Structure 1
Amino acid sequence: MELKIEARNLDMRKGWLDKIEGEKAKLIRHYANLVLYLRVTIENTANQKKGGFEVRLVATVPNDTVVVKRQGEKVLALLVEAFDVLGLQLKEFVRKKQDHKGVKAQGAVLGGNGSGVIQRLFPQDSYGFIVTSDSQEIFFHETVLKDMLMTDLKEGDPVMFGVTEGEMGPQATFVRSEKG
C-alpha cells in the first residue's frame, strides 16, 4: 500500500506519524492487497465551528475510493476515529463484493478468456481496469501483462484476457494486446 501523509497549516508531530504508521500496519494485516493507496491529510482549521482540526483519509481500492472526514479538537482522537470508520467501510466494501460473486459477464467468463478495452490505467500504482462489451470492469495488475509493459498501454487499447474471481471481484489472470 502506498501511503502519503500531508499536513496543512500545521507542523506534523511524531506521535501522529507513529499512529498513522500503526493504523497502516493494521489495515495491511486485515485487508491485505485491498487498499492500493492511502492519503492521510491533517489540517488546522481553527476558523471552523466544529473544532480546530480536520483529518481526511482517502483510500483507493479496486473500482472505488473510500473517503473519511473527521473534525474536532484532538488530532490523535480524530485519527483513531477516522481509521475505525475506514475499517468499517472496508469491511462493508468486502461484504458487498462477496455478495456479488458469481455474477458472470458475457465478455468475461470466469475461469475463461474474454476481450475488452483498457478503461483506466494507474501506472504509478501498477494496475488498471479493462471494460468488457457488457460494461463489466475487470481489475488487472501489471504482473499479469504478457509481452508488454504498463507504459505500452493506453486507455481504449483492445486487449484479450483471462479472468478469475478475486477477493474484490473479477480480475485478470493475463492481459495480452489484441493488436498483434
Structure 2
Amino acid sequence: MVAVRDCFDAVRRQLEDQVRRQRGDVKTHEVPAHGKIASLIAEGDYGFIDTSDGTEVYFHRNAVANGGVEKLTVGDEVRFSLHPAEGEKGAQASAVIPVGKHHLGPAG
C-alpha cells in the first residue's frame, strides 16, 4: 500500500507541476544582460557598455560590483542589470559585474 500511495503522490505532483507550467505560474530567472565596456570617463566616474543587441548603456562607478571600476578597461566583458527607469543619459545599469573570458555561463 505504501508503494501505491507514493506512486499516486508522485503522479499528482507531476500533474500539478504541468498545470503550473501551462498557466505560467512557474518562475523563470532572468539572465543578466551581457556586453563590453565601450568607454570609461574617469573625470565623471562613469562609462558606457555596448550591449550584445547593439544598444549603449550608461553606468556609474557605484554600480560596479565590489568597487571594481578601477580594474575595468575598454573591451572588458561584463554582465549587467538594467535599472527599470531610464536616466538622463538613457538606459542605465543598476549593477555591473565584470567577467573574465573563462567565466561566462551558458547564456554568454
Query: Is 1:123–1:150's contact at 8 Å kept on the other side of the alignment?
Result: no
Q: Does 1:177 align with 2:98?
A: yes
What's 2:8 paired with? none
Query: Is 1:116–1:131's contact at 8 Å kept on the other side of the alignment?
Result: yes
What's 1:120 paired with? 39
* Structure 2: distance between partners of 1:144 and 1:112: 18
Tell me which amino acid in the other structure corresponds to 2:86: G
Q: Does 1:167 align with 2:87?
A: yes
Q: Does 1:155 align with 2:88?
A: no
* Structure 2: distance between partners of 1:136 and 1:153: 20
Q: State the identity as a percent.
A: 31
Structure-to-structure mapping, 1:9-48, within 5 angstroms: none
Q: Which has the higher strand share?
A: 1
Query: Is 1:161–1:175's contact at 8 Å kept on the other side of the alignment?
Result: yes
Q: Which segments of 5 or more consecutive residues in structure 2 lack a partner in the other structure?
A: 1-29, 104-108
* Structure 2: distance between partners of 1:167 and 1:152: 25
Alpha-carbon offset, residue 174 of structure 1: 0.4
Tell me which amino acid in the other structure corresponds to 2:63: V
Of the two structures, which has the highest relative contact order with CA contacts closer than 8 Å and spacing of 6 or more? 2
- Alpha-carbon RMSD across the aligned residues, in angstroms, is 1.9
Distance 1:112 1:171, change over 3 A: farther
Instruction: Using structure 2 for the length normalisation, give the TM-score.
Output: 0.58
Rg (Cα) greater in structure: 2
Tell me which amino acid in the other structure corresponds to 1:160: R
Instruction: Using structure 1 for the length normalisation, give the TM-score.
Output: 0.36
* Structure 1: distance between partners of 2:70 and 2:98: 13
Query: Is 1:118–1:154's contact at 8 Å kept on the other side of the alignment?
Result: yes
Alpha-carbon offset, residue 155 of structure 1: 0.3
SS of residue paired to 1:125: coil
Query: Is 2:63–2:94's contact at 8 Å kept on the other side of the alignment?
Result: yes
Query: Is 2:61–2:67's contact at 8 Å kept on the other side of the alignment?
Result: no
Q: Which segments of 5 or more consecutive residues in structure 1 lack a partner in the other structure?
A: 1-110
Alpha-carbon offset, residue 112 of structure 1: 7.1
Query: Is 1:112–1:163's contact at 8 Å kept on the other side of the alignment?
Result: no
What is the number of residues matched between the two proteins?
Answer: 70
SS of residue paired to 2:65: coil
Query: Is 2:49–2:56's contact at 8 Å kept on the other side of the alignment?
Result: yes
SS of residue paired to 1:147: helix
